Structure 1
């Protein structure tokens, strides 16, 4: 039982670190306007409608890579061949994503992709299974 709980937690931690790392790269390549901080919600609400496409798309890339990582790591830790740990991690991230999307004025395409990419946890799960067969 503990191993299964750790599988979900490990996947969430690894996914969170992945999101943070890719978003940091996105902020490096597409920096926020001078003096603006990413934790200033009012400034972010003004910035997002005018942000460069790639600045927003880096968030989607971060979510997609994180979904793969969540699926892979949770499956490796559980080591029982079941996809439920990947799915649980993905559902938790979908909920967090929806909360974040509701707080900011993001375009429709961002909502669609931002939620859909979490399905990639199943691809991460499959990758982890393929590695187990070697």
Structure 2
């Protein structure tokens, strides 16, 4: 049981680092408008509504990398050959993703990809389980 909890925490931590790194790269390539503070929610909503496609797509890419890594790490930690910890990580990340999409004005394609991409936890998990043998 403790190993499963640590696996989920490890998956969440590693996935969060991936999101942060990829989104930092996205902000470097597509910086926020001058003078805009990221914690100003109304300004951020305006930015999202008018952001270039690639600026938003970097967020989806960050989710994809995070999903894969979280699934891989969680399954490596559990060492039980099951996808359970990876799926729990995916569900937790999916919850936060849907919350962000509700709060911010994201386009329909972002909703579709933002939900589907978390399925990559299973690919990461499968790879980790196959590497176990």
For the superposition of Structure 1 and Structure 2, which TM-score range results when normalised by the shorter chain?
Answer: over 0.9
* Residue equivalent to 1:49: 49
- String of CA shifts for 1:92-118, please: whole Å, max 9, x gaps: 111010111100000000011001100
Structure 2, unaligned runs of 5 or more: none
Moved over 2 A (4+): none
Q: Matched residue of 2:106: which SS? A: coil
What TM-score, normalized to structure 2?
Answer: 0.98
- String of CA shifts for 1:52-99, please: whole Å, max 9, x gaps: 100000000000000001100000000111001000000011101011
Q: RMSD of aligned C-alpha atoms?
A: 0.7
Offset at residue 48 of structure 1 (A): 1.0
Aligned runs of 1:1-134 on 2, under 5 Å?
A: 1-133=1-133
Taking the aligned partners of 2:57 and 2:118, their CA distance within structure 1 comes to 15
Structure 1, unaligned runs of 5 or more: none
Taking the aligned partners of 2:121 and 2:39, their CA distance within structure 1 comes to 28
Q: Matched residue of 2:44: which SS? A: helix
Q: Matched residue of 2:34: which SS? A: coil
What TM-score, normalized to structure 1?
Answer: 0.97
Q: Matched residue of 1:8: which SS? A: helix
Offset at residue 36 of structure 1 (A): 1.0
Answer with 39-48 or 65-74: which moved more.
39-48
